[in-house]
Amino acid sequence: MSVPLSILLLPLAIFLLLFFILSLVNIAHLMRFASFNMAGFWACFIFMAGSALFLYFAWGAIDQIDWKQPAQFGFDKWNSIPGM
């Protein structure tokens, strides 16, 4: 059985959507309940910079994959013993 690799992008898209929503909630809580000083600013900045770096490197890793190539599932190739 073969399935296109692009099917695997759906769970990734769901994860990124949840990550984005929870990041907005986290930033809103940092802005509302954190003290308005440099420590609160740096906490928010470090969180957003870390998220941006994570998304940049994830995009770079995903960009190298040929998503049109089908993925083979099943055990036909591994169960056959040559010469038998």
Give per-residue pLDDT as tens, 70-80: 877 666 555 55
Q: Give per-residue burial for 49-82: e unless 16+ CB within 10 Å, then b.
A: eeeeeeeeeeeeeeeeeeeeeeeeeeeeeeeeee
pLDDT at 65 over 70: yes
What's the pLDDT score for residue 79?
A: 55
d(CA 84, CA 68): 34
pLDDT at 32 over 90: no
d(CA 73, CA 17): 28
> What value, to the nearest 5°, has the Cα angle with vertex 25 and ends 62 and 43?
85
